[in-house]
Chain A
Amino acid sequence: MHKAIALGAALFAFWLVLSGHYTPFLLAMGMFSVLLTLLIVQRMDAIAPEVTPSHLRPGLITYWCWLAVEIIKSSAAVARVILSPRPAIAQKIIFVPTSQTSDMGRVIFANSITLTPGTVTVETQDGYFTVHALNEAAADLAALAAMDKRVSAVEARR
């Protein structure tokens, strides 16, 4: 039940941000659409823990800041490859071990790998991801292991 309330609150906050008009009539319409959405989600039996990821820690914010810096660094690296007169492409397929316990943690790690230019998660298996890397520098297993540790730290403390 409290999952449904949390989802409803999040949806209404989202509606308030997107609306920008705060007359009683429009607020009532917003409330109505939130309740209708909740009813449909309830009927679909889809109020899963993943819908309201409230178990993720505030550490996620600092993780995002760290990830943003990583994205800028690897974007610059890939940009250098593109702009070089003869692009040095040495593509690699690597296995990256994962240590997350929840599906949400695995999704965050897989998406983080894909978000940093130079590496793309191709396939997810139990305990490891198959990752495609643009060149030797992008296929840095030590850096990916460090990212794995950070993601686990964000999801494990609940």
Chain B
Amino acid sequence: MIGILVQGASWLSLGIGAAFILIGALGIIRLPDFWSRIHAAGIIDTAGVGFITLGLMLQAGFTLITLKLLLIAVFIFITGPTATHAIANAAFAARLRPFALAGDESGTFDSGKKKS
């Protein structure tokens, strides 16, 4: 009985993770420019990765594999945003400016607004 519940939770988690990854991939294609696409990629490496590793941990049970999966999740959750920040910062430094900017408190982004 417990086994069925764990299996169900595991497959539900894997399904949700797969759905988030698909939506993120769709977003990378659909959204108009670099700055909005970076958020779509963000879904993949947070919610997508999180749910998939959770599902795999439930599959593995209380074994060393679960501990390894936990370490993988921790490292992805530390390196992922760091890499995203590096890319965003590089794009900012290269004067790439967002498409359809609704508001800008800094003023520095506005200069290149028309050319995106």
A100 to B64, CA, bound (A): 36
Report which of B23, B24, B46, B99 forms a contact with A115, defined as CB distance below 8 A.
Answer: B46
* B84, A114: Cβ atoms closer than 8 Å: yes
Starting from the known contacts A75-B43, A89-B99, A117-B43, 4 additional A-B residue pairs (CB-CB under 8 Å) come to A72-B47, A79-B43, A91-B101, A117-B39
Task: Report B's interface with A, CB cutoff 8 A.
Answer: 20, 23-24, 26-27, 30-32, 35-36, 38-40, 42-43, 46-47, 50, 64, 67-68, 71, 77-78, 80-82, 84-85, 88-89, 92, 98-106, 109
* A94 interface residue (CB < 8 Å to B): yes
Q: Are B46 and A134 in contact (CB under 8 A)?
A: no
Are A130 and B64 within 8 A (Cβ)?
no
Instruction: Please determine whether A20 and B92 come into contact, CB atoms closer than 8 angstroms.
Output: no
Main secondary structure of the interface of A (DSSP, over half): mixed
Instruction: Across the A-B interface, give the 9 residue pairs with the lowest CB-CB distance, nearest first.
Output: A114-B81, A75-B47, A90-B102, A82-B27, A117-B42, A111-B81, A91-B98, A93-B104, A92-B103
Query: Does residue A140 face the partner (Cβ distance < 8 Å to B)?
Result: no
Q: How far is the CA of A118 from the CA of B20 in the complex (A)?
A: 14
Known: A82-B26, A114-B81, A122-B92. A95 touches B105 (CB 8 A): yes
